[in-house]
A and B are shown apart, each in its own frame.
Chain A
Amino acid sequence: MSMPPRSRTGSGPLLAGLIIAAVVLVGIVALAAAGATPASVWNSFFPMHGTGGVTDRSTSVQNLYDIVFYIAVVIFLLVEGLIVWSVFRYRRKPTDTDLPPQTHGNNLIEVIWTIVPTAIVIFLFVASWQTLNTVDAAAPAQVNVRAVAAQFQWSFDYLDEQGGTVFTQQLPSGEAGGLVLPVGEPVHIELRSADVIHAFYVPKFLFKRDVVPGKDNTFDFTVEEPGTYGGQCAELCGSGHAAMVFDVHAVSRAEYDTWLTDQVAQANATPAPAPSGEAAGPTIELEALNVAFNTGTLEAPKDAPFTIHFKNDDNGVPHNVEIKDGGGAEAFKGDIVTGVTETSYAVPPLPAGSYTFLCTVHPNMTGTLTVQ
């Protein structure tokens, strides 16, 4: 049984054109409203939105990305152009009652469009293999750090030449925490997992490597630009996965030496006597479970000392309570305690205002403290 041709040279292409135009228009208006410029849109197609990486290896990764990107764009425009052209050009007309030429194929053209893509992908493979050798190259390093990942925080062991730990950075992020490294010289990182698989990922390094229990992965790199770079766990590790963030502080060699000496000295010094722990003023209850506080809001009286009774219900996970004022300056920082345990923090008098409380180890755990 046969039917009349199903499409006519009618409103079809016009309607399609209108829909496409409307979508493009809405898209442009939305992008403009969100503050996007043509340059920012173009940059968004590149690693770190055009700002690139900061290690010696990231340049070669960026170059490789650019090669793949431009080849992909050319192929996309070519093939998508052919698809769109075919659909608009070869639509069935009412006069098309006879069949079009019944072409079954062409061996020559099959060979061509097998060989040309093969050549392209082999070129890409060679380019990426060369880059891989750069990225994975070992470098004799003065700075050796073991990054230890555990559910759900990072810590960093600074190692001496024999592999012994001279100092452990317990705080994964913040100004006083994080992985501090000297710029301009090779760094060797060893990855160790205390429990499940994690991944060490610093977006600005354009690099990640899995932290596999039972297998210590290593890699080398040199940070070339001083600055603070965020990193986080990139392999799902449980309910606190999103909280596993850390900072990398890349500083000058002199600053690094001073910092490390200070930290080692502090670590070796007799620990300061803990705050007397005597409850002063009213007591506020706070609890941490599953890498989250049980409340997002706390209230305290102004200009009077108070006590935070803090329960850490996360087994094996370190938490504390830190209070920052509206400007982000530290107003109080409690000792880190590893769960399951509870402790009391004696907080000094605070002027009235709105403060942020957070866990120093897991800066995603935050809330608002209103002092009035």
Chain B
Amino acid sequence: MATTTLNPAAPAYRSTLYEWLTTTDHKKIGIMYLINSMIFFVAGGALALVVRIQLVTPKNADVVGGLVTPDFYNQAFTMHASFMLFLFVIPILAGFGNYAVPLQIGAPDMAFPRINALSFWLLPLGGLLMASGFFVSGGSAAAGWTEYPPLSSQLGTGTDLWIMGLTLIGTSSILGAINFLVTIFKMRAPGLTLFRMPILTWTVLVTSVLVLMATPVLTSALIMLFIDRNYGGHFFDPNNGGNAVLYQNVFWFYSHPAVYIMVLPAMGIISEVLPVFSRKPLFGYKAFVFATVGIGALGFSVWAHHMFTTGAVFLPFFSLMTFLIAVPTGVKMFNWIATMWRGQLSVSTPLLFAVGFLSMFLIGGLNGAFAAAVPVDFALHDTYWVVAHIHYVLFGGSVFAVFAGIYYWFPKMTGRMLGEGLGKLQFILMFIGFNLTFFPMHQLGLAGMPRRIADYASTAGWTELNVLATIGGFVIALSTLPFFWNVLVSLRNGRIAGDDPWEANTLEWATSSPPPPYNFDHLPEIRSERPVFDARHGRTAAH
């Protein structure tokens, strides 16, 4: 018999599983985002290993008895990228936003808790739909994560599943973005003005604007592709008056801003970690906010730099804008270093990953400048140089930030610390494995190795570098073992964290670990962007 109760915690018969599956608590949803993303991280990583094993020697089929067919190889790298981008990096950063933003602004939950649950549950659904392509005839999507027609129009049902899955994931992003925007604009605690917001919240705000403006455009591209494939449309079919390059324009109009969707919140995490572990405020807070907004705005004017070799875009404009977007990124880099400068650094795992982010993202920025120089891009486009570039940005950048964030907020989420020894071991292995895998790809690209090829000639001179990259790939895989072990062990036996183990600055550290439902029993006075710091040091005046 249904009963109404004013105490939501009352029904004791609800199992923990039921509680999690039906929750609208942003903290639980945030954690589910992280777990779901980690599952796809492992799946995407396994597919990356398939790619690396395939390329370890030329004529691999002769050596290892044909590990994979070229068809499956194309599926493997397509789904590797699709999992990593759409089901790992984007959602895990949304997960951090989900967990941290309401806490950081002193709100009890997101503005629309049920929509929040919906945007989470669309993700595993979309992911499974996408992955189910492996089980239909013809296999999964295989035209690369970019799915350029006319090739993607030729391939099997897996592509339709990919389109449907990605449309659901896009819908999840859009719902999440609206939720973040309303939450940030309407639910900040008294005193928490826009320029007192933590930088992570700022980056989630800008990211949400990008999602809201860009994702519907991707959805339109996907729907047009779906119509072309299934209902006799000719949007992208040049034989019937369509335009193949149109898809690329529409796709990259989303997918370049998507790179910032995948990087800005990561920068936000770094901007939370560095001040705390340097015992200093973030250097140039406002410059940082303006740089974030600047990257978001410029991010909409650089999409065609993925299309320099199509012969269909106005090169100087997109070249100039691409060079210019390096400026706000550079400003951030200098501000981060200035934050550490003359600080008192505690070299804990979150800081190590943050410093790893700085070093690797620096390379990812610099090797991007080569591709902004159009004639150099003519030489390097679609070679392994570009593969090196995206991984220095999204793995050396975003993924290192993700682990910095996990080590930083795990105590808040669970009440227990992750082990430092295993954390450092993971960092060392991952840092070495990452560079071993992706640095030689610069040289491979310079030597003319195109991306997305399943095989190459033994005379091409690419073998040694591919061997290095494959060894590195396995070191990265190895580096995840101490991480997962660390999580399992620390959940049971980790050191008790207390409210504020890092002597941090922002409001999430003013409540218990883990926080109670609805987050706060009381809030400290908010007079700056570091209310918890102010409370700890007895400062009430803005400074």
Contact = CB atoms under 8 A, between A and B. Distances in A.
Given A92-B279, A121-B326, A210-B310, A75 B366 contact: yes
Interface in B323-365: 323-324, 326-327, 330-331, 333-335, 337-338, 340-348, 355, 358-359, 362-363
Given A80-B362, A99-B537, A110-B331, A296 B61 contact: yes
B245 A215 contact: yes
Contacts of A101: 280, 342
A236 B151 contact: yes
Given A82-B337, A209-B378, A239-B69, A5 B346 contact: yes
A76 B281 contact: no
B74 A99 contact: no
Given A196-B151, A208-B381, A234-B450, A113 B330 contact: yes
Contacts of B191: none
A290 B71 contact: yes
A360 interface: no
Contacts of A349: none
Contacts of B376: 61, 64-65, 68, 128
A291 B378 CA distance: 28
Contacts of B370: 65, 68-69, 72
A102 B281 contact: yes
Contacts of A212: 238, 244-245, 310-312
B71 A100 contact: no
Given A110-B284, A201-B450, A215-B238, A68 B70 contact: no
A291 B70 contact: yes
B148 interface: yes
A12 B319 CA distance: 44
A239 B347 contact: no
A46 to B, nearest CB: 7
A242 B244 contact: no
A260 B457 CA distance: 29
Given A46-B446, A105-B283, A290-B71, A90 B378 contact: no
B453 interface: yes
B74 A104 contact: no
Nearest to B498: A1
Contact of B70 (A121, A204, A242): A242
B414 interface: no
A7 interface: yes
Contacts of A207: 378-379
B216 interface: no
Interface stretch (B3-11, B499-507, B517-525): B499-507
B373 interface: yes
A197 interface: yes
B462 to A, nearest CB: 11
5 A-B pairs with the lowest CB-CB distances in the bound complex, closest first: A214-B238, A203-B448, A128-B373, A242-B453, A92-B344
Given A68-B373, A234-B382, A242-B70, 8 more contacts: A1-B498, A83-B358, A102-B543, A113-B331, A117-B326, A124-B369, A128-B376, A214-B238
24 contacts: A2-B503, A3-B501, A64-B375, A69-B370, A75-B366, A100-B279, A103-B338, A105-B285, A109-B334, A109-B338, A113-B331, A117-B327, A117-B331, A129-B316, A131-B373, A132-B374, A196-B149, A208-B381, A238-B74, A238-B151, A239-B74, A245-B457, A291-B70, A364-B455
